[in-house]
């Protein structure tokens, strides 16, 4: 389905901006360079440990702007509400949007609400579009080179497991909270300490493995990951075993992958770890001349295997 | 419901931009002044005479930007698709988005798609957010003064009746097509010929009567309308009689209300009539010192009555 839509989009709207295939479109507007992005959130359930659809929608759009080296400034809010949604629920979601936007220093400046009959939508869907001001122009897959280092800002898969645990009604020994968080602070700390960050992306849909595959496809180089370095929480590991999932393919909503030159890796890691969202950041791999366009995992067992793009249906309504 | 949401929004996101209560937020971004707007479209059915959800979503956002005196440049596209939507339907909608954006000279630069299970959404919902560059800074309710003239760019209610006729399966003698259209061309023709346009708004939800009520509430003056001057198509009139509706409260999706000084009214009318969407434009009323904050209708029968804001539920899913 997503491939179908992707090809429809590209055919119908092909323009130089859309084909940048970044998390945000980077646009010239008069003398300014801006980042513009949109995302609709349909997460089910709308409340989950560590977050809810309101804060998720704000953080997601903030992160899509930030990974492009732009400072998020303004966001819009488009709601589709199912008739009969209790006022207390709506109230809680809107308050969460407000709190998340204030926490990240962005302003909700325009909005729209549609109410549909019961059964024509599931509780509430939220679209957030965002505008940022580009501050760092040099982030591009074209800057990635062999020898660069791959950093992830924290444990992976927390968001997906937190949502699944509520949806499936499963209690794990170690309760997992969503990692949903705004990353603008963390990202600009990193960009401040190094001019040699090549590229960033947040591993949302399809998780770390899919995001790194996209990067290798675009850069033409390979990536070798060290399984023992990849941070995965005990609760996520346990849930994955129980549900037959691979944490490498689980969506994060408050993590960023940073590709940085080897020389600057230590100072970027230290800058990232200073922010609350990045305390457990790790260097997990290297860009390689070999295995062009592919991601390799050097496993704990000492073997090596290819990590493909996610094939088939990914987990529905995780964001 | 809408009042509830409005008050929630204002409480949670109150900032000087949101409280402008314009169709778009007018924002300073570095040295540029931009307009930013968002709308989600949930129209049912998704295809109707004269348009479909795709072109409607593009035109609606273009118009919200244009009425603020800004040139629409970029739009985003956020889709929520119900699983099982036939590919041919999706294809047709996306093609319509493409055609509408090309026709109006705007670029779709970023997009997002979510697929939800059957029964969790009704076919397809589309969010479009848009960015424009402010070209005319002087449009403001504060510029409206007694003696100004009220102009409407064409017959009212066509859109609502076109959607209702398909939804309710009613055939009228005179088939009504939606007025959905991009108004950026028409609006900038008008702005070019007169520096004395005070304010503009597109009479969408709640129709002409509601839009004019919003304007009188904000300006503090009254508006007197001449019923005999208000253009209403025969098919719309017939449908309204049959369905017990008042055309003054029906949504338009390709009309604009322009408030202009009396001296410039004739040249603005003539400029508007030159564009295809404005051929049937009419001067329909006057801003008055009396009846502060209210809209009065001087009827065909020679009496005068107050037109209130729409009370109770308006027609659902008309856009």
Q: What is the 3-state secondary structure (H, E, C) of B35-47?
A: EEEEEEECCCCCE
Determine which of A110-114, A219-223, B49-53, B183-187 has the lowest per-residue pLDDT on average.
A110-114
Is residue B66 one of the residues assigned to a domain? Answer: yes
Distance separating alpha carbons of residues B285 and B226, to the nearest angstrom: 6
Is A172's pLDDT higher than 80? no
Is B222's pLDDT higher than 80? yes
Give the minimum alpha-carbon distance from A25 to chain B in angstroms, rounded to a whole number: 6
A128 and A35, same structural domain?
A: yes
Is residue A147 one of the residues assigned to a domain? Answer: yes
> CB distance A108–B18 less than 8 Å?
yes
- Residue B19 confidence class, pLDDT cut points 50, 70, 90: low
Is B313's pLDDT higher than 60? no
For the beta carbon of residue B70, count every other beta carbon within 10 angstroms. Answer: 28
B161 and B67, same structural domain?
A: no
Interface test with B, best of A109, A204, A318 (most B CBs within 10 A): A109
> CB distance B109–A17 less than 8 Å?
yes
pTM: 0.96
> CB distance B122–A129 less than 8 Å?
no
Is residue A156 one of the residues assigned to a domain? Answer: yes
What mean pLDDT do residues A124-148 have? 96
User: Closest chain B residue to A39 measured between Cα atoms?
Assistant: B112
Is A117's pLDDT higher than 70? yes
Name the percent of chain A lying above pLDDT 70: 97
Q: Please give the structure tokens belonging to residue B71.
A: 């040139």
> CB distance B38–A119 less than 8 Å?
no
The whole-number pLDDT of residue A116 equals: 96
Q: Tell me which residues of chain B, numbers 48 to 107, contact chain A at a CB-CB cutoff of 8 Å.
A: 73-74, 76-81, 83, 87, 90-91, 94-95, 97-98, 101, 107
Residues 6+ apart with CB under 8 A from B302: none
- Residue B169 confidence class, pLDDT cut points 50, 70, 90: confident
Mean pLDDT, all residues of chain A: 94
What mean pLDDT do residues B197-203 have? 97
- Residue A312 confidence class, pLDDT cut points 50, 70, 90: low
- Residue B319 confidence class, pLDDT cut points 50, 70, 90: very high
**DSSP result, A175-207:** ---------HHHHHHHHHH-S-EEEEE---TTH
- Tell whether A5 is within 8 A of chain B (Cβ): yes
Is residue A312 one of the residues assigned to a domain? Answer: no
Report which of residues B312 and B86 the model is more confident about: B86
Domain boundary among B105, B134, B163: B134
The whole-number pLDDT of residue B89 equals: 97
Domain boundary among A71, A106, A134: A134
> CB distance A25–B110 less than 8 Å?
yes
Is residue B94 one of the residues assigned to a domain? Answer: yes
What mean pLDDT do residues B2-23 have? 75
Give the minimum alpha-carbon distance from A37 to chain B in angstroms, rounded to a whole number: 6
Interface test with B, best of A32, A93, A110, A128 (most B CBs within 10 A): A110
> CB distance B317–A91 less than 8 Å?
no
Is residue A302 one of the residues assigned to a domain? Answer: yes
The whole-number pLDDT of residue A254 equals: 98
For the beta carbon of residue B242, count every other beta carbon within 10 angstroms. Answer: 11
- Residue B309 confidence class, pLDDT cut points 50, 70, 90: confident
Is B80's pLDDT higher than 80? yes
Tell me which residue range forms the domain holding A195.
141-307
B150 and B49, same structural domain?
A: no
- Tell whether A313 is within 8 A of chain B (Cβ): no
Is residue B40 one of the residues assigned to a domain? Answer: yes
The whole-number pLDDT of residue B314 equals: 67
A237 and A212, same structural domain?
A: yes
Distance separating alpha carbons of residues B96 and B84, to the nearest angstrom: 20
Facing residue for A36 by CB, picked from B13, B109, B120: B109
ipTM of predicted assembly, 2 dp: 0.95
The whole-number pLDDT of residue B66 equals: 98
- Residue A142 confidence class, pLDDT cut points 50, 70, 90: very high
The whole-number pLDDT of residue A174 equals: 75
pLDDT by residue (tens digit) across A75-92? 999 999 999 999 999 999
> CB distance B39–A1 less than 8 Å?
no
Alpha carbon B33 to its chain centroid, in Å, reads 23
The DSSP bridge pattern shows strands A222-226 and A295-298 to be: parallel
CATH number at residue A289: 3.90.650.10
A95 and A20, same structural domain?
A: yes
Domain boundary among B134, B164, B182: B134
What mean pLDDT do residues B36-57 have? 98
- Tell whether B171 is within 8 A of chain A (Cβ): no
pLDDT by residue (tens digit) across B255-290? 999 999 999 999 999 999 999 999 999 999 999 999
The whole-number pLDDT of residue B271 equals: 98
User: Closest chain A residue to B36 measured between Cα atoms?
Assistant: A110
Facing residue for B78 by CB, picked from A32, A36, A39: A39
Mean pLDDT, all residues of chain B: 94
B288 and B171, same structural domain?
A: yes
- Residue B170 confidence class, pLDDT cut points 50, 70, 90: confident
Is residue B200 one of the residues assigned to a domain? Answer: yes
What mean pLDDT do residues B244-263 have? 97
Is B245's pLDDT higher than 80? yes
Facing residue for A4 by CB, picked from B87, B117, B131: B87
What mean pLDDT do residues A170-188 have? 91
A17 and A104, same structural domain?
A: yes
Facing residue for A13 by CB, picked from B30, B108, B117: B108
- Residue B312 confidence class, pLDDT cut points 50, 70, 90: low
Give the minimum alpha-carbon distance from B318 to chain A in angstroms, rounded to a whole number: 10
The whole-number pLDDT of residue B14 equals: 77
A214 and A178, same structural domain?
A: yes
Chain B residues within 8 A of A34 when measuring between CB atoms:
29, 131
Facing residue for A42 by CB, picked from B76, B95, B114: B114
B206 and B71, same structural domain?
A: no
Number of alpha helices (DSSP H) and beta strands (DSSP E) in chain B: 8, 14
Chain B residues within 8 A of A129 when measuring between CB atoms:
38, 76, 78, 127, 129
Count up the domains in chain A and report the number.
Answer: 2
Chain A residues within 8 A of B3 when measuring between CB atoms:
none
B298 and B152, same structural domain?
A: yes
The whole-number pLDDT of residue B1 equals: 65
B301 and B241, same structural domain?
A: yes
A237 and A189, same structural domain?
A: yes
CATH number at residue B27: 3.30.1330.10
């Amino acid at each position: 389905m997503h491939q179908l839509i992707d090809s429809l989009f590209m055919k119908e709207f092909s323009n130089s901006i859309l084909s940048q295939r970044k998390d945000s479109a980077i646009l010239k507007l008069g003398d300014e360079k801006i980042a513009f992005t949109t995302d609709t959130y349909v997460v089910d359930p709308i409340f989950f440990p560590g977050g809810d659809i309101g804060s998720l929608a704000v953080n997601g759009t903030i992160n899509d702007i930030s990974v492009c080296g732009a400072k998020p400034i303004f966001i819009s809010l488009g709601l589709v509400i199912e008739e009969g949604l209790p006022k207390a629920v709506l109230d809680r979601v809107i308050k969460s949007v407000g709190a998340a936007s204030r926490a990240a220093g962005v302003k909700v400046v325009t909005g729209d609400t549609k109410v549909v009959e019961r059964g024509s939508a599931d509780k509430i869907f939220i679209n957030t579009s965002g505008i940022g001001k580009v501050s760092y122009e040099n982030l591009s897959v074209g800057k990635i080179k062999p020898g660069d280092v791959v950093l992830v800002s924290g444990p992976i898969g927390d968001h997906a497991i937190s949502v699944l645990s509520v949806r499936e009604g499963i209690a794990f020994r170690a309760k997992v909270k969503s990692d949903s968080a705004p990353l603008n602070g963390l990202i600009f700390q990193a960009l401040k300490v190094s001019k040699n960050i090549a590229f960033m992306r947040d591993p949302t849909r399809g998780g770390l493995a899919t995001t790194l595959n996209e990067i290798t496809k675009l850069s033409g180089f390979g990536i070798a990951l060290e399984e023992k370095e990849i941070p995965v929480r005990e609760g996520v590991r346990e849930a994955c075993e129980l549900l037959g999932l691979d944490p490498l393919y689980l969506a994060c909503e408050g993590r960023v992958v940073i590709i940085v030159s080897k020389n600057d890796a230590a100072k970027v890691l230290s800058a990232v770890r200073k922010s609350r969202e990045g305390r457990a950041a790790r260097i997990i791999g290297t860009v390689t001349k070999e295995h062009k366009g592919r991601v390799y995992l050097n496993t704990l067992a000492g073997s090596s295997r290819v990590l493909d793009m996610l094939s088939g249906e990914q987990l529905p309504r995780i964001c």
